[in-house]
Structure 1
Amino acid sequence: MREVPGGSTTPFLIGRAMTGGYGGADILNGCTIAVEKGEIAVIVGPNGAGKSTAMKAVFGMLRLREGSVWLAGEDISRLQPQERVAKGMAFVPQTENVFTSMTVEENLEMGAFLRRDDFRPTMEQVYALFPILKQKRRQAAGELSGGQRQQVAFGRALMTEPSVLLLDEPTAGVSPIVMDELFDRIIDVARTGVTVLMVEQNARQALEIANRGYVLVQGANRFTGTGAELLANPEVRSTFLGG
């Protein structure tokens, strides 16, 4: 926890009491999403609950009508997404998250566009995390499977050396085996001290690896707790996890 003006404390990353939407309608209705450094936080909930909108608000892709976003004790609410990248955020959207005509290696190099140091050691770390990418580094990303594309997008985000990694539905459309592998890699990344916030449709599996979870309904917090607490909650299980 870090001190903020007024003597209170705030988590490493927090979107506090976020309210906003697109046009005249609010999709978020006072929801709060927080995660500490090196933790994994998961946002789950029914379709239309505002999960991805909450993540986009944290990244600055949605202007809030009310609420604020803090990173490492700093109010970043007014910063544009590219400015938040410079502060250490990396965002992996659910779709259209690779440059299909570019090779795997070129995609990774694009992730390092803001860096002025030698990024080759980071690329080797990405290849160690996702060995298949090293094998296919000269291949166009558009020729890869859906799961491999997700690994490219994940790896490109890591090339920025982020302190916060935002993942929007990272396992959408992949096989159960690839899903398990991606979750394992997310755990590996968090263990290095990177803060991970993700929206995930495979709620039960995501909560199993989460330090904390948020169930959103109609853009507001319905349940909040550790992953284990939410998995053990009968109402969460029956309503949101299929029993």
Structure 2
Amino acid sequence: MSFLCATRMRGGYGGADILQGCDITVEKGEIAVIVGPNGAGKSTAMKAVFGMMSLREGSVVFDGEDITKLSPQDRVAKGMGFVPQTNNIFGTMSVEENLEMGGFLRRDDISVTIEQIYDLFPILREKRAQAAGELSGGQRQQVAVGRALMTQPKLLLLDEPTAGVSPIVMDELFDRIIEVARSGVSILMVEQNARQALEIADKGYVLVQGGNAYTDTGAALLANPEVRRTFLGG
């Protein structure tokens, strides 16, 4: 069984189901990317994996354990980290205070992990005492990812990590995401910048109307003429 195995997920927010039986799997150390048109259920699928939306059908198995009924807090304790698209930092707190908040579940010395995050995102070391809300959009995203990494997750969930940032910053964030995956952390990412995300993806999912339209390696999806024409702009 895969490290993360979310199968036949069906559910929504009270009305009609948004997810229509979609499947998402991620292996250890793998970068998996969910792409697709607006309204396809990409973020909903990620929230279902993290327990922010109850499933009407289906299951989520993580590291060999069925966690379908667990709360998001319990999933963090099991080894999931989640970075939402918005409202993902404490703006009035300093960069370092944000990272310390990320380590609230830890009972060991968190200073080593903070230094690892500063090595990953050197600009945060420079701005460690600055209020996170005063940073640029890309730097705030680095704080958000860093705070999630403070929990020492086995699986990191990223919802639109490059939304609203410049192409240069997007490339830098993707480079750092590759570094995180190389350290052994699995990545599940929702991205609107589909072409660029698939370039770094080991596995890609194209969702349409809450279901799996295409599932393949990132390279194979980029080479698929139908995927290119329909979802990647040719």
TM-score normalised by L of structure 2: 1.00
Amino acid at match of 2:189: M
SS of 2:107 mapped into structure 1 = coil
Matched with 1:182 is 173
Matched with 2:30 is 39
Find out whether 1:136 has 2:96 as its counterpart: no
Query: How far apart are 1:24 and its partner, in Å?
Result: 2.4
Deviations 1:160-218 (A, max 9, x none): 00000000000000011100000000000000110000000100000000000000000
Query: How far apart are 1:15 and its partner, in Å?
Result: 1.0
Deviations 1:54-90 (A, max 9, x none): 0000000000000000101110000000000000000
Matched with 1:154 is 145
SS of 2:17 mapped into structure 1 = strand
Matched with 1:52 is 43
**Please, which of 136, 143, 149 is the counterpart of residue 145 of structure 1?**
136
Amino acid at match of 1:89: M
| Off by >6 Å, runs of 4+ in structure 1 | none
Matched with 1:5 is none
Find out whether 1:97 has 2:125 as its counterpart: no
Matched with 2:19 is 28
Matched with 2:8 is 17
Instruction: Give % identity.
Output: 78
Matched with 2:221 is 230
C-alpha RMSD of matched pairs (Å):
0.4
Amino acid at match of 1:35: V
Query: How far apart are 1:111 and its partner, in Å?
Result: 0.2
- Aligned equivalents of 1:76, 1:229: Cα separation in 2: 31
- Aligned equivalents of 1:194, 1:20: Cα separation in 2: 28
- Aligned equivalents of 1:97, 1:118: Cα separation in 2: 24
Deviations 1:95-134 (A, max 9, x none): 0100000000000000000000001000000000000000
Matched with 1:3 is none
- Aligned equivalents of 1:168, 1:134: Cα separation in 2: 24
Matched with 2:232 is 241
Amino acid at match of 1:179: M
Structure 2 unaligned regions, length at least 5: none
**Please, which of 65, 68, 77 is the counterpart of residue 86 of structure 1?**
77
Structure 1 unaligned regions, length at least 5: 1-9
- Aligned equivalents of 1:164, 1:183: Cα separation in 2: 16
Provide the aligned length of Structure 1 versus Structure 2.
234
- Aligned equivalents of 2:213, 2:15: Cα separation in 1: 23
